[in-house]
Structure 1
Amino acid sequence: MANIYSILLTVVTILAGLIWWYDARVNKPQRLAKITAEEERLQETLSEDAQQRIAPQGRVAEFCQSVFPILFVILILRSFLYEPFRIPSASMMPTMLDGDFILVEKFAYSLRDPIWRHELIEMGQAERGDIAVFKFPPQPSVDFIKRIVGVPGDRIIYRNKTLYLEPACVNNQQECPQIQVVEKNIEPQEEVYFNGSRPLERYSEQLGHVSHDILVDPSVSPRVSYYYQQQDRTTAVDEWVVPDGHYFVMGDNRDNSEDSRYWGFVPEENLVGRAVFIWMSFEFDQSSNRFLPSWIPSGIRWHRLGTVE
């Protein structure tokens, strides 16, 4: 849906620009010639209202002239700088909640054209701990948001709800990193999160230079039988080695997230950008006895506005 909007915005902007350009290059000289001839006949300078009556600009061309600069600015901002997204699920709790509206930094990793998404300029590399928006590999028309856990070459193990990481061994390293437990420390909960009626446990976790919170549902058993299996490697069922040009992502709500554990890796070309700011956060908890539809916000979570980690 997001890509369809990008295509539509691009097409409409180009169409408006072409109509405006054609009017300026072809129709406008004709209108000016008509006005000049009338002024010579009357031997006086016509007012703007009179000029408009004698040689009016077409409504379509006038509309395109008015909206094209606005559309062009929106297209540039949305395609190359920042794009708004809405969080539609609970997979990134507690970092992001259903109803959060975020800004995604489009130039964080690369600049791509808005239609075919060909890379124009490489800007940087995704890092562990980044919250990334990407095209869902099994269905590229859908945008997903998850946290990057593994970068190319990393060995990832998720066993008994504990994350293990063996960072990639870079060629110039004299000693390769060893596998390490990604420590999670229990956090006091000012706000309790639930999966249905079941309370979730909250932990803090450190990935690279990013410290963030995760949620774990102690009542849910690991769904190992559903884990994605690498066909070209003899790894354990709960172990993955991130290929070159790919990333391993997980949701912060570990037991309620459809992520790389179940469908595999995110290709680098699928990355859209990095989530950097929550600019609005709505509550959608209309009571059953209210006549308003469920999609109308019931309140604003002002305390959630700001940067994300």
Structure 2
Amino acid sequence: MSSSADKTAKKSATNEWVETIVVVAEALLIAIVLRSFLYQPFSIPTASMQQTLMIGDYFVANKFVWGYGKHSFSLGRYGNFTALDFELPITERIFGREPNRGDVAVFRPVPQNVEYIKRIVGLPGDRIQVRDGRLYINGTIVEREEIGTALDTDSEGDTREVTVYRETFPNGSVHIIQEISDNGPLDNTPEYVVPPDHYFMMGDNRDRSADSRVLSQVGYVPEVNLIAKAEARFFSIRDNIPPWQIWHWPANVRWDRMFESIE
């Protein structure tokens, strides 16, 4: 009886281990499917989208709303993070709708192998220009309203005073931008004509953003290189402190920026 009981106990323990492994494997599979096809988390390492997305913000991006493109299933690279880089051999996006002007997009510029995040300013066929710090779309100046000043700190710790504006696109999309001045290096540009099936991107922190205005670095972004639409912040911490360092949370977590949609 003792030997039989021991065998039963060992069999039960083995079954429990097998069940645990199966549960863990299923959870990993679900996480991989969610990340690959539906939603993917990202973090912000630079100042180019402040105040909309601050350094140390963590957000989730919708991967299916625009369908799937060349880099949709790559875990990719973002900032200093490097992971699996898988590229689909396709030239057009499949499924999904077209992006809207004003959407905040995660994408892969053609000359780069890292993910960028910027706001979609120009649609295919649009004429985009910046003159004296003001954005023009198809020859018409984009409305902006000054709402105050703020201090902006970049990833190198350089702090500048900025003027904050509420900008309204022709389609009614409203968002916040900021400028150090209206006479910076990218505040007077030639007119850009967005090619078919491409988009023109700009950062909301206009004087601290390398974006489509810099053709050699970002330039026009092919539709097939769009990865996801930024939808909501779920965590935010100052100074790019790793989230697992919970002992820094009380003084550094930006509680007011958590669980908010991205406009």
Structure 2 length-normalised TM? 0.77
Which residue among 78, 99, 107 is the counterpart of 2:56?
99
Q: Please say if 1:261 is aligned against 2:213.
A: yes
Which residue among 135, 150, 166 is the counterpart of 1:204?
166
Q: Look up the match of 2:126.
A: 154
The 3-state SS of whatever aligns with 1:68 is: helix
1:180 aligned partner, one-letter code = T
Structure 1 length-normalised TM? 0.66
In the TM superposition, residue 203 of structure 1 has moved relative to its aligned partner by 0.8
In the TM superposition, residue 219 of structure 1 has moved relative to its aligned partner by 7.5
Distance 1:210 1:120, change over 3 A: closer
The 3-state SS of whatever aligns with 1:69 is: helix
Distance 1:181 1:219, change over 3 A: closer
Q: Look up the match of 2:261.
A: 307
Specify the structure having the higher radius of gyration (Cα): 1
What CA distance in whole angstroms lies between the structure 2 residues aligned with 1:116 and 1:219?
39
Q: How many residues align?
A: 230
What CA distance in whole angstroms lies between the structure 1 residues aligned with 2:46 and 2:159?
17
What CA distance in whole angstroms lies between the structure 1 residues aligned with 2:190 and 2:121?
14
What CA distance in whole angstroms lies between the structure 2 residues aligned with 1:250 and 1:147?
5
Distance 1:48 1:242, change over 3 A: farther
Give the aligned CA root-mean-square deviation in angstroms: 3.0
Q: Deviations over 1:89-122 (max 9, x none)?
A: 1100111100100010111201356233457741
In the TM superposition, residue 64 of structure 1 has moved relative to its aligned partner by 5.1
What CA distance in whole angstroms lies between the structure 1 residues aligned with 2:59 and 2:254?
13
Q: Are the counterparts in 2 of residues 160 and 222 from structure 1 also a CA contact under 8 Å?
A: no
Determine which structure has the larger helix proportion and give its number: 1
In the TM superposition, residue 63 of structure 1 has moved relative to its aligned partner by 7.0
- Which gives a bigger RCO, structure 1 or 2 (Cα 8 Å, sep 6+)? 2
Give the unaligned 5+ runs of structure 1.
1-41, 167-178, 228-236, 287-292
What CA distance in whole angstroms lies between the structure 1 residues aligned with 2:93 and 2:135?
35
What CA distance in whole angstroms lies between the structure 1 residues aligned with 2:254 and 2:62?
22
The 3-state SS of whatever aligns with 1:193 is: strand
Q: Look up the match of 2:176.
A: 213
Percent of residue pairs identical: 36
Distance 1:210 1:219, change over 3 A: closer
Q: Are the counterparts in 2 of residues 85 and 103 from structure 1 also a CA contact under 8 Å?
A: yes
Q: Look up the match of 2:77.
A: none
The 3-state SS of whatever aligns with 2:50 is: coil
Q: Look up the match of 1:128.
A: 101
Q: Deviations over 1:113-158 (max 9, x none)?
A: 6233457741111111000001132113x11000000010111111
